[in-house]
Amino acid sequence: MARITFEVPPEAAGSRIDAFLAASAEGLSRSAAARLLEEGRVLCGGKAAAKNLRLAGGEVVEADLPEPEALDVKAQDIPLDVVYEDADVIVVNKPKGLVVHPAPGHSDGTLVNALLHHCAGSLSGIGGVLRPGIVHRIDRDTSGLIIAAKNDAAHLSLSAQLQDHTLARTYECLVTGSLKEDRGTVDAPIGRHKADRKKMAVVSGGKEALTHWEVIERYPGCTYVRCRLETGRTHQIRVHMAYIGHPILGDTVYGAKKAVPGLQGQCLHAVGLRFIHPRTGELVELSCPLPQEFQTQLRALRSRR
């Protein structure tokens, strides 16, 4: 049994405890949080919490996560671009097209299958059967750095760092159009699209989502942008940039429906990762180069200036 602990910030006052847990614990859905509450596995202020409890802010919420189920996902010898690895964590430069974890339609051939082979089964169990070791996710057609935990202690530490922003992720992308300012912040809640449940959208009542952005270079009809995440909502950068009128180049879900020649998926890359090592307490800062097709797009844009 693994226990996670969160202090409720003032801005979460009025939130239901199941929604707060789902927003705070990476990989924990609201339905899973509700089950933990029903089973008496969640304490608020040291007392068992009701599923419909409204938080006041300042409380300490503790949740006992069940022991992981027996793993039934097979290990597969899939090449990995390992950027950093030790006994506690592994950081991989994920290529476009590689799904992070098994899901309907992608039962194998995922990053999880590759990690199980590479790490010889040494991954944390907190993520459950289908997501062993996975602390955060990257979209299938987004490339770049992703970290996985090799044991539960490392997983809990990294999950807590996601909440307090010690674990910081930096992305670079090409967006359509010309941003008027040199930098800014998109503070807009994200939830399921009301008409298309496969998509995300900025919606009233969605989960808090903050994206900081700054312009790196400008080109005719396109802007090279660096984004830093404070939260990690599904499709966050893609949704936020589309929301301010500058969808990511090649994003046929949130932008133009026509694919960009020479570009698979959106031109979005997780270029940087910073975290406190869960065992040593030392700051680890990592980066990786832009993928070839991103660099090709940049060269073409620069040649037209």
User: What phi-psi label fits residue 150: left (phi over 0), alpha (psi between -120 and 50 degrees) or beta?
Assistant: alpha
Sheet holding 60-65, edge to edge: 2-7, 60-65, 42-44, 47-48
Sequence-separated contacts (24+) of 247-251 with Cβ below 8 Å: 247/175, 247/176, 248/173, 248/174, 248/175, 248/176, 249/173, 249/174, 249/175, 249/176, 249/222, 249/297, 250/174
Look at residues 161, 132, 127, 140 and name the one whose alpha carbon lies nearest to residue 229. Answer: 161
C-alpha–C-alpha distance, residues 146 and 157, integer Å? 16
The residue with tokens 């802007």 is 223
What one-character-per-residue DSSP string does 211-236 give?
EEEEEEEEETTEEEEEEEESS--TTH
| Token pair for 41 | 């596995």
Active-site annotation holds for 139:
yes
Task: Given the residues 139, 141, 152, 251, select the one marked as catalytic.
Answer: 139
- b/e burial code for range 159-183 (CB count within 10 A of at least 16 → b): bbbbbeeebebbbbbbbbeebeeee
- Angle of the 17-24 helix axis to the 30-38 helix axis, nearest 10: 130
Cα end-to-end distance, the chain, whole Å? 58
Residues assigned a catalytic role: 139
